[in-house]
Amino acid sequence: MKAQSYLKKLLTFCLIIGVTWNNTSIAQTQEDLKSFIQKLHSDQAYAKELQIENPSEITAFYQSISYKTVWLEGTSDYQKEYLEVLKHASDYGLNRAKYHYSYLSSKHFPTLEYELILTHSIMEFYKDIANGVTSVDLSYNGLGYTNHCLNPTEMLLNTYPKGSVKDVISFLQPQSYGYQATQNLLTRLNMFIENDSFQEPLVTQTMTFAENKELIKKLYYLGFLPTMTDVSLLKEGMITNALKGFQSLYNIVPDGILGPVTLSKLSIPLTKLRTQLILNLNRWRVINCLDNQRYIQINIPSATLALYDRDSLVMRMKTIVGKPITPTPTLCSEINKITFFPYYEVPKNVALNELLPIQQKEPSFFENNGYQLIDEKGFVLEANSIDWSTVSKDHFPYEVRQVAGCDNSLGLLKFDFDSPYALYLHDTNRKDLFSKNKRYLSNACIRLEKPYELATMLFQDRNLVEEFVKKRFEPHLSPTSFSLETPVKVFITYITADVDDFGSLVIYDDIYKKDILK
């Protein structure tokens, strides 16, 4: 009996000691973790050694959970899933080395240092997936737009206990079709390019398709053919259709002919295409903070306009954008007013370099096309009252404007927004230009394929728009402006990988030479 009583007391004592030791151990771990984090703030050399540039986010995370460790109690499903996703970071256009992959994947006995680095890795990966790895690059940022809208601390706090990393990433990424199609092609290319046996296909010949092994290989890599090895399965018509798919990818008229333009695009290495896709994924992410808002996006390389309401694409249309010598600037602003029957205030350089030479050769040109001259005092002069032999580029004391009406270069209406440029969206009297495949034709302003439909969407009043459209043939029209009750954000972007009207990915011309590809 004494032996049993002694054993019972011993077990009770051990249990008490164990609980006390465990509580002391937890408290000590929390204190050690807190000291680690404080050192990150106070010792810049230490933070730099761990490659942790923003310890405030880590601090906020661990403060919220009372400095408890998250990853030291054993490998969680969240942790394992994250490391597997990070292993394939290149499929998202990201470099896993930036997120400590080598360190995290090689440590078998986690430490407090491991704990902090893993937390930092996840937060940085989520930020870059959501909002890109660069800052906003706009010629004019009239809204003070920033792409730092994700709170990585809250995202991790809300998901690490039970969440799925892949679900988080799916939620964080841009939802646009252009982004999704770009990432899908990048994932496919990585499957081949990251293989040690990969050799870049070099398409230089226009021989019969079935014998053109390099062509078949390239079309297979891009997903236009089901095989590149079993040529017996590839009929001539199948290869022709695959080539048409390739031509559509590069915004070439899909005639299935290996002409010079098609060959020039086929000569672009897949590794270079991959770099371009990565660049454009980041461009999509930079504007991802526009989610859950109503805004217009004009994309210069695709020469298109899209109206979004929250996550939904409301309408899409073709546009005409600036020529390379008169480029349309990237910007963000707000459309606050729509003007019916606008005057076209001709930019000075256009008046001097384009209109004046024609007028001096054809004295009736200004009059026939509705152009007026405004003198230095603001008086309107008729063109036929001027002695054009006394006028030159160096002596032209006038402003030129075109009267309102169907022949006006701005068409029947324009959309005004603040910017340091003489820039707006507008109708046009040249509807034929929208049939062109490449629509880089304007002097920077943006011409719209469907201006009346857009005005109706913004006003939410079809009758108002129709009333003014019916007046378009009346004489002596004058500008009439209406302010929008709710201004609409407008973003002019430069993204060379976007989808067409059918949702298919297109690599558009780098018309302003902004893609820096290696």
Is the pLDDT assigned to residue 409 strictly greater than 90? no
Nearest C-alpha neighbor of 407 from the set 346, 339, 343, 349: 343
Question: Is there a domain that residue 273 lies in?
Answer: no
Give the pLDDT score at 19.
Answer: 39
- Considering the domain architecture, whether residues 166 and 133 belong to the same structural domain is answered as yes
pTM of the model: 0.87
Is the C-alpha dihedral spanning 197, 232, 240, 503 positive or negative? negative
- Considering the domain architecture, whether residues 385 and 510 belong to the same structural domain is answered as no
Nearest C-alpha neighbor of 386 from the set 403, 401, 398, 402: 398
Is 493 in contact with 283 (CB distance < 8 Å)? yes
Is the pLDDT assigned to residue 318 strictly greater than 80? yes
Question: Is there a domain that residue 140 lies in?
Answer: yes
Give the pLDDT score at 434.
Answer: 94
Confidence of residue 222 (pLDDT cuts 50, 70, 90): very high
* Alpha carbons 91 and 194: distance in angstroms, whole number: 11
Percentages helix, strand, coil for the chain, rounded to the nearest 5? Answer: 45, 15, 40
Give the pLDDT score at 466.
Answer: 85
**Count of alpha carbons within 13 angstroms of residue 17, beta-carbon side:** 6
| Residues 6+ away with beta carbon under 8 Å from 469 | 412, 452
- Considering the domain architecture, whether residues 165 and 244 belong to the same structural domain is answered as no
- Considering the domain architecture, whether residues 448 and 317 belong to the same structural domain is answered as yes
Question: Is there a domain that residue 27 lies in?
Answer: no
- Considering the domain architecture, whether residues 338 and 360 belong to the same structural domain is answered as no
* Domain boundary pick from 151, 172, 193: 172
* CB atoms inside a 10 Å sphere around CB 89: 18
Give the pLDDT score at 2.
Answer: 46
Question: Is there a domain that residue 282 lies in?
Answer: no
- Considering the domain architecture, whether residues 315 and 432 belong to the same structural domain is answered as yes
Question: Is there a domain that residue 290 lies in?
Answer: no
User: Catalytic positions, please?
Assistant: 426, 445
Question: Tens digit of pLDDT for each residue in 140-164?
Answer: 999 999 999 999 999 999 999 988 9
Mean pLDDT of 355-369: 88
Domain with 373, as residue range(s), is 352-401
On average, the pLDDT of the chain sits at: 88
The share of the chain scoring above pLDDT 90, in percent, equals 57
- Considering the domain architecture, whether residues 409 and 487 belong to the same structural domain is answered as yes
* Domain boundary pick from 366, 386, 401: 401
- Considering the domain architecture, whether residues 325 and 450 belong to the same structural domain is answered as yes
Q: What is the DSSP letter of 93?
A: T
Nearest C-alpha neighbor of 114 from the set 123, 125, 126, 105: 105
- Considering the domain architecture, whether residues 449 and 507 belong to the same structural domain is answered as yes
Question: Tens digit of pLDDT for each residue in 1-57?
Answer: 445 554 454 444 444 334 333 445 656 667 788 888 898 888 888 888 888 888 899
Give the pLDDT score at 16.
Answer: 37
- Considering the domain architecture, whether residues 331 and 359 belong to the same structural domain is answered as no
Question: Tens digit of pLDDT for each residue in 462-475?
Answer: 788 888 888 877 77
Q: What is the CATH number of the domain that holds 322?
A: 2.40.440.10
In the structure encoding, which two tokens stand for residue 341, read together?
Answer: 């029957």
Question: Is there a domain that residue 165 lies in?
Answer: yes
* Alpha carbons 278 and 282: distance in angstroms, whole number: 6
- Considering the domain architecture, whether residues 328 and 375 belong to the same structural domain is answered as no
* Alpha carbons 212 and 313: distance in angstroms, whole number: 41
Q: Which residue has the higher pLDDT, 213 or 281?
A: 281
Question: Is there a domain that residue 11 lies in?
Answer: no
Letter string b/e over residues 20-44, b meaning 16 or more CB atoms within 10 A of that residue's CB: eeeeeeeeebbeebeebbeebeeee
Question: Tens digit of pLDDT for each residue in 223-258?
Answer: 999 888 777 777 778 888 999 999 999 999 999 999
Confidence of residue 94 (pLDDT cuts 50, 70, 90): very high
Question: Tens digit of pLDDT for each residue in 375-400?
Answer: 888 888 888 888 888 888 888 889 98
- Considering the domain architecture, whether residues 498 and 364 belong to the same structural domain is answered as no
Give the pLDDT score at 72.
Answer: 85
Number of domains in the chain: 4
Question: Tens digit of pLDDT for each residue in 468-507?
Answer: 888 877 777 888 899 999 999 999 999 999 999 899 999 9
Nearest C-alpha neighbor of 458 from the set 236, 294, 214: 294
Question: Is there a domain that residue 275 lies in?
Answer: no
